[in-house]
Amino acid sequence: MTTYKIPVIPGDGIGPEVIAEGKKAIDAAGEVYGYDVEWLELPLGADHYLKTGETVSEDTLKELGRHRAFFLGALGDERKVKTGILEKGVLLRLRFHFDQYINLRPVKLMEGVETPIKNKTAKDIDFFVVRENTEDFYAGIGGRCTKGLTSQHLKLLREAYSVKFDLDVLTDSDEIGYQIGVISKEGTRRIMDYSFKLAQQRNKHLSSVDKANVMTDIYGLWRETFQEVGRNYPDVRTDFNFVDAVTMWFVKNPEFFDVIVAPNMFGDIITDLGAMIQGGLGLAPGGNVNPEGTSMFEPMGGSAPKYKGLDKVNPIATIWAGALMMDHLGEKEAAKGILSAIEANLREGRVRTYDLGGSSRTSDVGSDVARIIKMQGRN
Ligand code: IPM
Ligand code: MN
């Protein structure tokens, strides 16, 4: 029997509660599909930061780097640590350190779940967003400067990043803040390759998202690379779309989409909208994938500190992320088993949390999904 060693970072707020249910489902699937998991718990997050002053230590990175995948609950607690420190210092750090360039976010409305989109059903909302996860406006290049520094900064900006438009208008301002988006040809090529391959396994339709009508340099390169890589996949239908229009189509005709590839920031934004049309953040999982390295699986939602300890929030996103993780580790049958148990739980609708109109607890939903996994395994 295979034994997987999987590091797990429960994190802050409701993180530990949802992670417990994710583990429950994965363990239950292990009994049915024949594997064992040894969970290695790592205490990152707000408390760890307050106690030690560190976000992630080199040792922790080294430990995580020994594994193909790890599981993460949620990070950040604005009541304890200023917003941004843990988000950037832990979550983004992990994504960048392990070069998890693929952020895979399924948008799928399950039967039995209500969507706020009128007249749309489960067959209309079923696509993947592939969010580039290491570049764009997340690259961390930026600064703030006051008057004395302004012209010097602008000069540097012009030289270093060939900022072409005229920034002189800003030099009279008392303070400016700037953030530079960077995408690279290679970084774009690899995410496109992944997305085309995913589209080939589905309905062979890939839509690219950009704003190449305004940010012509950064997204011009993105679009060009999309077209270039597309020539290697002649069986995949393609289109490119401006991000503003994409948000409209998510609501108007989500059935248009099969696989979507998006730069980091637009991908961040449209996947929150995606989560809403599939029933809410409580149902939205994500995988941060590096096919050759260490990947991280997490629910898309945040740590919701005000719900901590109430055994109230929906664990389905985390359980679903667990299914993505087991799929990534090669346990395809187990992944299918977990997903079909989620589907059965939602279809039946008896055991559900408050966000879906029910009154069950986090742990009840996790136990119900685990029960269904085992029951389906016996049939
Ligand atoms: C997400 C989150 C993160 C992001 C934040 C918490 C840094 O919103 O995973 O979508 O912006 O990527
Ligand atoms: Mn987000």
The torsion angles phi and psi of 126, rounded to 5 degrees, stand at: -160, 85
Among residues 246, 266, 269, the alpha carbon closest in space to that of 256 is found at: 246
Among residues 313, 325, 314, the alpha carbon closest in space to that of 23 is found at: 325
Provide the residue type at 262 as one letter.
A
Considering the segment(s) 114-132+183-277 as one domain, its CATH architecture is 3-Layer(aba) Sandwich (3.40)
Please give the Cα distance from 162 to 157 (Å, whole number): 7
What mean pLDDT do residues 338-357 have?
A: 97
Instruction: Name the token pair of 61.
Output: 């990175």
Q: What is the residue with the minimal CA distance to atom 8 of ligand 1?
A: 268
Mutate to test the pocket of ligand 1, among 9, 92, 136, 268 (most ligand atoms within 8 A of CB): 268
Q: Please check the confidence at residue 20 and state whether its pLDDT lies above 90.
A: yes
Residues 63-86 pLDDT 10s = 999 999 999 999 999 999 999 899
The predicted structure's pLDDT at residue 378: 78
Q: Please check the confidence at residue 155 and state whether its pLDDT lies above 80.
A: no
Please give the Cα distance from 115 to 198 (Å, whole number): 25
Please tell me the distance between residue 268's alpha carbon and the centre of ligand 2 in angstroms. Answer: 5
Q: Please check the confidence at residue 345 and state whether its pLDDT lies above 90.
A: yes
Lowest mean pLDDT across 173-187, 207-221, 291-305: 173-187
Mean residue pLDDT across the chain:
94
The predicted structure's pLDDT at residue 85: 93
What are the residue boundaries of the structural domains of the chain, listed by start? 1-102+288-379, 114-132+183-277, 136-181
What mean pLDDT do residues 11-35 have?
A: 97
Q: What is residue 65's DSSP assignment?
A: T
Q: What is the residue with the minimal CA distance to atom 5 of ligand 1?
A: 87
What mean pLDDT do residues 34-42 have?
A: 97
For the Cβ of 132 lying below 6 angstroms from any atom of ligand 1, the answer is no
143 confidence band (pLDDT: 50, 70, 90):
confident
Please tell me the distance between residue 267's alpha carbon and the centre of ligand 1 in angstroms. Answer: 10
The predicted structure's pLDDT at residue 180: 87
Mutate to test the pocket of ligand 1, among 92, 94, 103, 264 (most ligand atoms within 8 A of CB): 92
Specify the 3-state DSSP secondary structure of 43. coil
174 confidence band (pLDDT: 50, 70, 90):
low
The predicted structure's pLDDT at residue 163: 54
For 159-223, the three-class secondary structure string (H helix, E strand, C coil) is HHHCCCCCCHHHHHCCEEEEEEEECCHHHHHHHHHHHHHHHHHCCCEEEEEECCCCCHHHHHHHH
What mean pLDDT do residues 161-170 have?
A: 56
Please give the CATH topology (third level) of the domain spanning 1-102+288-379. Isopropylmalate Dehydrogenase (3.40.718)
Residues 231-290 pLDDT 10s = 999 999 999 999 999 999 999 999 999 999 999 999 999 999 999 999 999 999 999 999
- H or E, element range at 295: strand 295-299
For the Cβ of 91 lying below 6 angstroms from any atom of ligand 1, the answer is yes
Q: What is the residue with the minimal CA distance to atom 10 of ligand 1?
A: 268
CA angle, residues 270, 348, 372, in degrees to nearest 5: 95
For the Cβ of 268 lying below 6 angstroms from any atom of ligand 1, the answer is yes
Q: Please check the confidence at residue 220 and state whether its pLDDT lies above 60.
A: yes
Query: What percentage of the chain reaches a pLDDT higher than 70?
Result: 93
Q: What is residue 101's DSSP assignment?
A: -
Higher pLDDT, 163 or 124: 124
The predicted structure's pLDDT at residue 21: 98
Strand order in the sheet with 205-210: 35-41, 2-11, 69-74, 295-299, 285-289, 102-108, 126-132, 259-262, 205-210, 237-242
Strands 69-74 and 295-299: parallel
137 confidence band (pLDDT: 50, 70, 90):
very high
Matching fold, domains 1-102+288-379 and 114-132+183-277: no
